[in-house]
Structures are given as C-alpha cells and as structure tokens.
DNA sequence: TTGTACGCGTTATCAT
DNA sequence: ATGATAACGCGTACAA
C-alpha cells in the first residue's frame, strides 16, 4: 500500500545528473559549479535541465571533502534566548548569508567546560570561521572560575584550528591572541556615570555579574572610573547572575533589606536592569521616582519598559556583522572596536540637588 | 620571520593517528568510534593517546560522506532576534545537543522565496532533520502572498528531502503533510476573549498581521469565536506587520485618529502588544488605565513591562524541544500539540459594568 | 583481533 | 571542450 511513506531512496548524485544529461561527471561538475566557461553552452543547459528534473542538490559534505573546508560559520553563544546574543546572532547570520555561508550555532549555556567541548567538536566540522561570543572562559582578576586550565585548553584548541587554516574571531574578549570585536564597555559606562553625575545622582548601587565575565568587569571598572575616586559616596556593589533573574533577585534583596540612601541602581546589562525594575516595583518602589535605574546594551525592550530605561547603546547586530567581516578579511589578528553611546531616558530623571 | 602567522598546515587525519599509534587506519577508526569491543584494549589506549597528542578531530564531512548523513539539525526561522523564535531556537538547540546533534540555523527574514531557497540549499547539507518555524509560505484564505506556486515548490522540496530519508518538522503550520508541532492558537485566544469578556470588556480593537501568517489568522479567528457572534459590538480590526514596530505603528495611528469607544486592544502577539503599549503611552494614553492591552505568547518581557501584560502563555522553548523529539522519533507524520494558557495581568484590570 | 581494499560524492589533474 | 581517473578522509565488508 502506497501510503506516502515510501522506502527512503537515496538522493540523486552528480553521476545521475551526468548520465541523464549524457555527459561525463567531470563535465556535469564543471557545468554546475566550476569554470562554466570551458563547457559548451549547449551542455551547460542540458546538465542544468537534468539537475532540475532530478531535483539534484550537490552534497555539501562531498564538496567539503574534495575542496578542504565547509562553507560555514560556526557561532558559539552563551544563550540564544538572551536578546544580547540573539542580536549578535542576527548580525552574524546576516553577514554570513551575504557571503553565501551557512551558520551553525552552539550554546555554551552550562559551563566553560561545555564551551571547550563545543569548540573541540566544532573543529571537526572544519568550518571556515569560528566566532565565540561572550565566553565565560576568561581570567578573572584572581584567575578563578573558568580556570586557567580550561582557558589554556580553549586557547590551544582555537590555535590548532587556526594553524589548520581556520579563522577565529572573539566577540568582547580582548586578551586571547585572535581576531576580536571589542565593545567599548569601559568608555560607555564611564560616560554613563558622568551623565548620571550630571543629572544630580550621588549615591549608587551597582549590580554586577561574577568576575569570570569580562564584560561585567569592564563595565564596573568604567563606571567606577566615571564616578571618580574623589567623588560621591562609596557605591554599594552587589554580585549576582548575569541574567534577568539575577537582576530581579538582587534588587529584591536590596529592597527588602532597605535601600538606605541609594538614589540609583546601575545594572551591568539591560536584562538585569529590567529585572531589577520589576523587583523594585514588586517591593512597592516606583522605578524612576523612588529609585532611578540604568542599564547597559540598549536592547530593544529598553524603550518599552516604563519608565524607559537609561542605557548605553551597543550596536550588537553590527558587532555580529563585523565579526564575520573581520574573519573573512585577510590580515592577521586584527581588532574591530564597536563604539557605544549613552542614551538617557525617563528611568533616570534629573535630580535637583 | 615567525610572527605567529605560520603557513596553514593541514589538520591531522586518521592516517596520522594510526601511524603515530603504530596500527592500521581500520583499527584506529574502530578504537575511536565503532565497535570498541573488538579492539585490544591496549591498542585502544594507544590510539586514544595518539589522537590526543596530535589534537585529532574526526572530519565530520568525511564521516558524513562515509555514513550517508550529517549529524545535524537544520533550523529555519523568520528572525532570530525575535524572542518568539529565539525561544524556539533555544529549545531546539537544547534537545539537539542532548542527542549529540549540531544545529545549523538559517534566517528567512526577507521573503517566502528566500525560505524556499534556504530549504533547497539545506537539502545539500544532508542534515538528519529540517525544522521550519513560522513560515510565511502558507495559503491565506485568498491564497495570496506566499503564492501557491512558492508554497507548492516548498512542499515539493521538503518532500524530496523526506523521500531521501530526511525528517521534516514544521512548527505551527498544520496543513503541509509533515510532522508538525502545533500551538493551540485558536483555543488560547478563544479563552483569552472569554476571560476579557468576564472582566467586563465589550469594545475591542484587534491588531493582526497579514493573512499569509497562519498564526495570526488562527489567533484572530479564535478571538472572534471567543467573543461570540451575538456578543458585543463589532471589533475594530487593523492589519499591520507581525513585529514590535507593526504594533507600535498601528496603535499610534489608532490613537491619533481617536480610539472612540474602544476599551481594549488585543494584539496577536506580545511584541506587537508591547509596541502598542508604548505607542499608547507616547500618545498620552496610559495602558491599563485608559485602554487595556492584551497580547499572545507570554514572552519573557511580558512581566517586565508596566503594567504587566495579559497574554496567553505558549511554552515556546518546549515547542522547540518537542520538534526535535518528534523528528527523531520513528513513525510517520505525527503531530504534537502545545497547549496554551491565559495569563491575566495588570494591563487588563477588571472593568465595572 | 587486525589489516587490506573498496566505496561514499565531489573536485581537480591530466590526457585526449 | 571533454572524459578518465586520482585524490579527499573516513567507515566497513571481507579476508587473514
């Protein structure tokens, strides 16, 4: 009974196309991919027609093995569902598709070890490019978490890949010897701090992520630099997760044990800041009125929360695009710097002195 | 000058490993992948050690060509940066990695034609599974937009892929003959309408997307069904884009030309609803107080906007997971149904009659 | 248990 | 311009 579930027949190969068109495989190959110029136009159309008739699609793996590498860009992110990374991913896919490259994506959510494992198996894919965004494997000031061992292993792995002819680009992680797209975290938060001082704020709380995350470190450092050592009161620094929940929990805890004289909460990214806003509101404190809030990244929803979230705009999608361009451009381990820009919104109203 | 940019040397192959370990390629292959049992454990460790020493990674394309298919799941989405799709993508990658499968992702942002093109080249990848989420290629009631031609071509393409042994799963698109993860859009919005009637709302505006998008059609139909034909006043239906901007623009236009007696705006997804909330606020109307707002999907930020957005929860991440499971399970074109649940928040306060 | 040899689908080299 | 044929790296019958 022919119920639609036929036995899987293998897809047509170049041989089939050649036979159908009455030419050799070599000619068929040339007609479809290679130097079309050296094939009689009549044969070209014959082959093309045969291919269409059979529904032929070249076997990418076979091409890859014959040519050497796969037309793919491998992207490693910490969490696709996080708007930070999905924006980068959007930029990467955009640029990759423009260069007729396929994007493969892996999520290193769990741990630095997982990230290492991913890069290892990625090497097996022989992609043209590997892009690692927002790694956790990073020497903290005390060289903790990710662990120098894991870090070394990752660098080794990437180095082997590069030695074999692959291109490596890191996003936001300056101190490994590869092509890098850096985001001006330090400058951005420094200027943000300046802007907030200008608005009249003096007593700060900072929600930061664990030290293993370089982005967080840089943003905190920049912010403190912007406040100036001789400046206002010592800010209250709280460590939490680098996620919306982390921001919520930290702000909640803060509100419950009393905010004291804190006038404004700066979270090192927007998802944390937005979580914090909700936590404050849940605790009966109106963001913007009771306590001001500022974030970093200027993700899409920053304009849709209420009040609008003051933040530092990072053109993440562009960062993704640049990463691909950097990888594809010749020339050694260069660096592309992504500039950031302070965006003041209603979550940090001017404060009269 | 050895400035770090050595000539790219080719990566070690199984031959190299075999030689290094002093065994044949066959033994090396068996030791690393296949039937480990039939290899002297001494040789197993020798081979493993040699592989580690050389930093060997098996060439996936070569394995693929020897075995027949690639250990990958290909995912097609409309837009990675949209939380709807990035949540699905998160679920897909989670389940795929659990099955030791690589995820390749393509974005069909532009057009149905682009989607067709993508699926075509995807076939060349010989993935184990193709998952298409939120296609635009879909017969509208009037069979417009995507065009029956493109639609047919896509179905053909997928059918050829399946005939060749591939697994196809569609997310939220019931009427193509493939495995499908359907989301209870109709039921969800029907119940939402019921809940809103129960809260006292009688005069509705609906923000919907173009008919080519099945999800939108179903949600509108369900909502109208929930209102009941003999019910309240004829709702005002506005067509716009299926994006945050679409929601913003439509609500803005609505507010500018006067909302009349509209009590509540239902947008067919949350990003539209959230855009609409901001538009209303920009027009001086407080969401929840002046006009109520409801959406669909219950994306993460629904709880972080103010007031909290009433919506219909869709376990998107789970949908992604299920899609992979469905694809991997044996058995023909089955269907997995994802249930939805109304979540009432402050954006639709009870209305006294 | 191990090794030899062939096949997978494609491109590239070398004749013709 | 075209057609054999040898790679490419790996898995796996088959033979030893």
Considering all nucleic acid strands, name the nucleotide whose C1' atom is nearest to the C-alpha of residue A21.
Answer: D2
Instruction: Tell me the pairing of strands A127-133 and B70-77.
Output: unpaired
Give the model's pLDDT for residue B114. Answer: 87
B32 touches strand D (CB under 7 A): yes
Burial group, residue A237, by CB count within 10 angstroms (0-12, 13-18, 19+): middle
- Window A:285-304, CB contacts with B under 8 Å: 300-301, 303-304
Q: pLDDT grade, residue B332 (50/70/90)?
A: low
Strand C: list positions under 7 Å from protein Cβ: 1-5, 7-13
Considering all nucleic acid strands, name the nucleotide whose C1' atom is nearest to the C-alpha of residue A68.
Answer: D8
Homologous superfamily of B70-183+318-338: Response regulator (3.40.50.2300)
Contact partners, residue B143, CB within 8 Å, separation at least 6: none
Is the CB of residue B173 less than 8 Å from the CB of residue B115?
A: no
A39 touches strand D (CB under 7 A): yes
B10 vs A77 pLDDT, higher one: A77
Q: Which residue is nearest to nucleotide D7 (CA to C1')?
A: A66
Q: Residue B120 pLDDT > 70, yes or no?
A: yes
Query: Given CB atoms, is B35 within the 8 Å cutoff of chain A?
Result: no
The whole-angstrom separation of Cα A134 and Cα A79 is: 9
Closest-CA residue of B relative to A317 is B81
Q: Straight-line distance from CA B178 to C1' D13, in Å?
A: 36
Contact A11 B244 (CB under 8 A): no
B81 touches strand D (CB under 7 A): no
Q: Which residue is nearest to nucleotide D12 (CA to C1')?
A: B26
- Helix or strand holding residue A343 (H, E): strand A341-343
Q: pLDDT grade, residue A286 (50/70/90)?
A: very high
Is the CB of residue A244 less than 8 Å from the CB of residue A271?
A: yes
Contact A81 B275 (CB under 8 A): no
Is the CB of residue A175 less than 8 Å from the CB of residue A331?
A: no
User: To the nearest whole number, what is the mean pLDDT of chain A?
Assistant: 91
Contact A90 B97 (CB under 8 A): no
Q: What is the mean pLDDT of residues B45-64?
A: 95
- Chain length of chain A: 353
Is the CB of residue A166 less than 8 Å from the CB of residue A127?
A: yes
- Window A:228-287, CB contacts with B under 8 Å: 244, 274-275, 277-278, 281
Q: pLDDT grade, residue B34 (50/70/90)?
A: confident
- Window A:41-70, CB contacts with B under 8 Å: 55, 57-62, 64-65, 68, 70
The whole-angstrom separation of Cα A264 and Cα A293 is: 6
Partner-chain residue, chosen from A11, A65, A86, that has the shortest CB–CB distance to B81: A86
Q: Straight-line distance from CA B26 to C1' D13, in Å?
A: 12
Query: Which contacts qualify for A286-289: CB closer than 8 Å, 24 or more apart?
Result: A287/A347, A288/A346, A288/A347, A288/A348, A288/A349, A289/A349
Q: What is the largest CA-CA distance in chain A?
A: 87
Contact B86 A80 (CB under 8 A): yes
B334 touches strand D (CB under 7 A): no
Give the model's pLDDT for residue A8. Answer: 60
Q: Is the peptide bond before A307 cis (omega within 30 degrees of 0)?
A: yes
The torsion defined by the Cα of B240, B246, B251 and B257, in degrees rounded to 10, comes to: -60
Q: Residue A143 pLDDT > 50, yes or no?
A: no
Q: pLDDT grade, residue A174 (50/70/90)?
A: confident
Contact B305 A300 (CB under 8 A): no
**Letter string b/e over residues A85-111, b meaning 16 or more CB atoms within 10 A of that residue's CB:** bbbbbbbbbbbbbeeebbbbbbbbbee
Q: pLDDT grade, residue B353 (50/70/90)?
A: low
Side-chain half-sphere exposure of A157, counting CA atoms within 13 A? 23
Give the model's pLDDT for residue B350. Answer: 97
> What does pTM read for this prediction?
0.92
CATH 3.40.50.2300 location in chain A: 70-183+318-338, 185-313
A185-313: CATH topology is: Rossmann fold (3.40.50)
Q: Residue B47 pLDDT > 80, yes or no?
A: yes
Is the CB of residue B281 less than 8 Å from the CB of residue B273?
A: no
Give the model's pLDDT for residue A148. Answer: 74
Q: Residue A310 pLDDT > 80, yes or no?
A: yes
Percent of chain B with pLDDT over 70: 92
Query: Given CB atoms, is A2 within the 8 Å cutoff of chain B?
Result: no
B240 vs A165 pLDDT, higher one: B240
């Amino acid at each position: 009974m022919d119920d639609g579930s036929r036995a899987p027949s293998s897809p047509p190969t170049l041989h089939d196309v050649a036979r159908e068109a009455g030419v050799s495989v070599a000619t068929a190959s040339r007609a479809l991919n290679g130097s079309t110029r050296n094939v009689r136009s009549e044969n070209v159309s014959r082959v093309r027609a045969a291919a269409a008739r059979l529904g032929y699609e070249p076997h990418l793996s076979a091409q890859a093995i014959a040519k050497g590498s796969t037309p793919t860009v491998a992207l490693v992110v910490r969490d696709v569902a996080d708007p930070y990374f999905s924006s980068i991913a959007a930029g990467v896919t955009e640029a990759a598709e423009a260069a007729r490259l396929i994007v493969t994506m892996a999520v290193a959510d769990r741990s630095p070890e997982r990230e290492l494992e991913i890069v290892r198996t990625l090497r097996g894919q022989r992609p043209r490019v590997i892009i690692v965004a927002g790694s956790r494997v990073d020497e903290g000031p005390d060289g903790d978490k990710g662990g120098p061992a894991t870090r070394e292993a990752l660098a080794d792995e990437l180095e082997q890949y590069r030695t074999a002819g692959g291109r490596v680009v890191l996003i936001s992680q300056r101190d490994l010897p590869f092509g890098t797209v850096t985001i001006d975290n330090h400058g951005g938060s420094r200027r943000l701090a300046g802007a907030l001082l200008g608005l009249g704020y003096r007593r700060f709380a900072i929600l930061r992520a664990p030290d293993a995350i370089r982005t967080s470190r840089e943003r905190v450092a920049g912010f403190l630099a912007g406040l100036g050592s001789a400046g206002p009161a010592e800010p209250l620094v709280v460590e939490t997760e680098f996620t919306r929940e982390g921001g919520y929990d930290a702000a909640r805890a803060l509100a419950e044990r009393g905010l004291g004289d804190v006038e404004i909460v700066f979270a090192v990214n927007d998802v944390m800041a937005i979580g914090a806003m909700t936590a404050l509101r849940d605790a009966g404190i109106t963001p913007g009125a009771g306590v001001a809030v500022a974030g970093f990244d200027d993700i899409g929803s920053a304009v849709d929360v209420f009040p609008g979230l003051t933040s530092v705009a990072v053109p993440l999608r562009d960062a993704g695009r640049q990463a691909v361009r950097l990888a594809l451009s010749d020339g050694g381990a260069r660096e592309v710097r992504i500039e950031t820009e302070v965006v003041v919104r209603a979550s940090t109203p001017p404060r009269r002195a």
